[in-house]
Structure 1
């Protein structure tokens, strides 16, 4: 009888990692455990903590360092060296350990107690972080272990270089650990390329979308429900703004084209995720706050797209006497994601695609993703980075978050093959 995935070394590793509730800056215990495991696996360990002042100067993060939580949030990495490490390239396999909070009322089980089940495609694993992205990170860890074993068995003859497995913190908050690593190299060697193990359904992602986050505040005038006509209901004003923004979304979908995004019905999506209006059920709603996410195409800047939506808001305001006299505020908040893209002929992409063909992928063509990832920080630092990992983003941040275990195993084998090819064939950037 075949061994159940939960009883395999990688399955047990993932199961333990999923039990850490790594939300809201609570990664430290998991990071300490990972550091111990990296040392146990024979990897050279590095650790760094982001500096809030430095991040505050980065366009992704708020300008106020006091609102960037970096305390007791170390990122850790394990490094495997092969042949003459300095004579070959360095490949980073990156994953994040933080997860978004779980609304336990919508879960069928404890989000932090992994549940194994049999699905249509074999064994499946359910827990917060199963898809986003502790399984992908674990596949990176065990790829490095397999590479070390191959090296010991003489199967990597001629390979020179390093493979770095990074477990970073704060990805859901803009990429705290990855941004720090990109801005200030924590290693005594250069990095030549990276693979970020976000859930891509085992597809090769060479472009990620950016986002700009804006908070809209609209003022009306409250009044008693019995004299509603004395007030100024804020909701019709908001509806006109909402309609104008979605009309611009449609226009941008038709005018801003990119070959890697042709499959998406809405390539640069707009979402109003939070709306709060009024203060009392028996009063006319006199205030409204709405928080928006606007998609930014590769090749655009956050500032360019932000300006387009600000201009469209100004047009709505100009058409309304009330809004002209009581102009809404429309300010950035939280984190911003810059778009990122690399060429398909980068050595890391060629190595990954060849590995995907070797491990049985039907489709190895590069494509784009409508979400942002830590890859953007490395691309901005001049490190070509591709996104590839098990699971689907449709399960990310979702109740009963689930991943097919077969995809995790396939991803691990693909990382091994991609790294092997990269170590043998990729030249150093400095050459």
Structure 2
């Protein structure tokens, strides 16, 4: 941090802010109290606040979400945006700094401290914070709030025109409910020019995110007593044949579908069978199997075309198996889908982040791509160039004893405060 660091000025207040936010158990469907609190804190800090709720019928029109509104949980899941304006705001630019308030569940028995009781440790590397959401991504929400305050103060002192919006949205872990709603139907009486999503990127600018399609495979065999197993039709060898075929296709796609930002990944577009449930009795040939698979989609591809590749490969396996041909499996989408996203690395908002990193001596300014999805895709789809930048590592996300290094959070505040000023000053 530099001598005039914005983060050093706000350090104690930021710690209190993030402690309070982390104490809310904002697992999916439980974001309401935290958003209510965030709305009040933004108001206390001088932001004008706007609140919106997602409409399930409207989201059902979006390809990321199920077609049936009844399958989209939007009840008591508001999102909030806080706005700071200076000069003549309509004569300048509007930059959004945003993060999500929801977190994945935590199994307390796997943690060394209660997951929703923020715990601080002093280490040789400085202070570190442990809690569910410390990295993914309530520290990122705090980063957005205090970077905006510092940037607005500097903008006013410089006579700049424009506005900064800070958002805390619900439902990112379930497809981006709050962000998709804000992208589809602007909740503000002004347009948004660019955005920064403060997900954990290890303080590197991310301009491309991978997509994914979620599919459920169901196989039907024929049961038989284990003593006469040959009378049955076991689903497990059939499933293994399908899994091997998908692994082969995964490798083919790794070799054939290239992207300059993904050259260093050992598996560019991963395919993972996350759940497999088969059979119902140890002494019975398993007659049914349900497996759920997540299939990676590269930037530049669509969910539909990648889905078709795996459906075609499944059809080949089925055609080669007499039983499967007569009893074809089902292979249907479920849950939410993530379209990939990408912006030009030369977008002004990316330049602003890189220039701010250079000014503060931060390494790793080259744009990167990541193999996970983020709310950035919704804003990019709406025509809002969006870069992802924040403290912490995705390696800590969804992990027991989720941890973030506090000095990295402070650095992220300084970078984004300067990047915001630079973006608002740009032509």
If the TM-score is normalised by the length of the shorter chain, which range does it land in?
over 0.9
1:47 is matched with 51
The structure-2 alpha-carbon separation of the partners of 1:7 and 1:199, relative to structure 1 and needing over 3 Å to count, comes to: closer
SS in structure 2 of the partner of residue 178 of structure 1:
helix
CA distance in 1: counterparts of 2:236 and 2:297, whole angstroms:
27
1:399 is matched with 400
2:340 is matched with 339
- TM-score, with normalisation over the residues of structure 2? 0.96
SS in structure 2 of the partner of residue 42 of structure 1:
coil
CA distance in 2: counterparts of 1:280 and 1:333, whole angstroms:
27
- Report how far residue 6 of structure 1 moved: 12
Q: Would you say 1:20 and 2:24 are equivalent positions?
A: yes
Moved more, 63-72 or 224-233: 224-233
CA distance in 1: counterparts of 2:297 and 2:288, whole angstroms:
29
CA distance in 1: counterparts of 2:68 and 2:124, whole angstroms:
48
Q: Do the aligned residues in 2 keep the contact of 1:158 with 1:424 (CA within 8 Å)?
A: no
SS in structure 1 of the partner of residue 350 of structure 2:
helix
- Report how far residue 4 of structure 1 moved: 11
1:32 is matched with 36
1:116 is matched with 120
Q: Do the aligned residues in 2 keep the contact of 1:5 with 1:123 (CA within 8 Å)?
A: no
Q: Do the aligned residues in 2 keep the contact of 1:6 with 1:15 (CA within 8 Å)?
A: no
Q: Do the aligned residues in 2 keep the contact of 1:348 with 1:386 (CA within 8 Å)?
A: yes
CA distance in 2: counterparts of 1:171 and 1:212, whole angstroms:
16
Deviations 1:310-329 (A, max 9, x none): 00000111110111111110
Q: Do the aligned residues in 2 keep the contact of 1:49 with 1:73 (CA within 8 Å)?
A: yes
SS in structure 1 of the partner of residue 21 of structure 2:
helix
2:147 is matched with 143
1:76 to 75, 80, 96: 80
CA distance in 1: counterparts of 2:298 and 2:8, whole angstroms:
43
SS in structure 2 of the partner of residue 37 of structure 1:
helix
- Report how far residue 148 of structure 1 moved: 3.4
Corresponding residue pairs, total = 421
1:158 is matched with 159
CA distance in 2: counterparts of 1:344 and 1:51, whole angstroms:
33
2:301 is matched with 300
RMSD: 1.5
1:253 is matched with 254
CA distance in 1: counterparts of 2:264 and 2:340, whole angstroms:
18
CA distance in 2: counterparts of 1:6 and 1:343, whole angstroms:
33
Q: Would you say 1:275 and 2:276 are equivalent positions?
A: yes
CA distance in 2: counterparts of 1:5 and 1:329, whole angstroms:
58
CA distance in 2: counterparts of 1:252 and 1:14, whole angstroms:
41
Q: Do the aligned residues in 2 keep the contact of 1:353 with 1:364 (CA within 8 Å)?
A: yes
1:262 is matched with 263
CA distance in 2: counterparts of 1:82 and 1:228, whole angstroms:
76
2:3 is matched with none
Deviations 1:89-141 (A, max 9, x none): 10000100000111112111110001111345221111000010000111101
CA distance in 1: counterparts of 2:55 and 2:413, whole angstroms:
32
1:129 to 125, 133, 137: 133
Q: Do the aligned residues in 2 keep the contact of 1:6 with 1:116 (CA within 8 Å)?
A: no
- Deviating 4+ runs (over 4 angstroms): 3-7
Q: Would you say 1:173 and 2:155 are equivalent positions?
A: no
- Report how far residue 151 of structure 1 moved: 4.6
- Report how far residue 5 of structure 1 moved: 12
- Please show how residues 214-233 of structure 1 align to structure 2 within 5 Å: 214-233=215-234
CA distance in 2: counterparts of 1:113 and 1:4, whole angstroms:
24
Moved more, 206-215 or 158-167: 158-167
The structure-2 alpha-carbon separation of the partners of 1:193 and 1:6, relative to structure 1 and needing over 3 Å to count, comes to: closer
- Please show how residues 93-112 of structure 1 align to structure 2 within 5 Å: 93-112=97-116
SS in structure 1 of the partner of residue 27 of structure 2:
coil
The gaps in structure 2 that reach 5 residues or longer are 1-6
CA distance in 1: counterparts of 2:250 and 2:359, whole angstroms:
40
CA distance in 1: counterparts of 2:183 and 2:155, whole angstroms:
29
Q: Would you say 1:86 and 2:90 are equivalent positions?
A: yes
- Please show how residues 317-356 of structure 1 align to structure 2 within 5 Å: 317-356=318-357
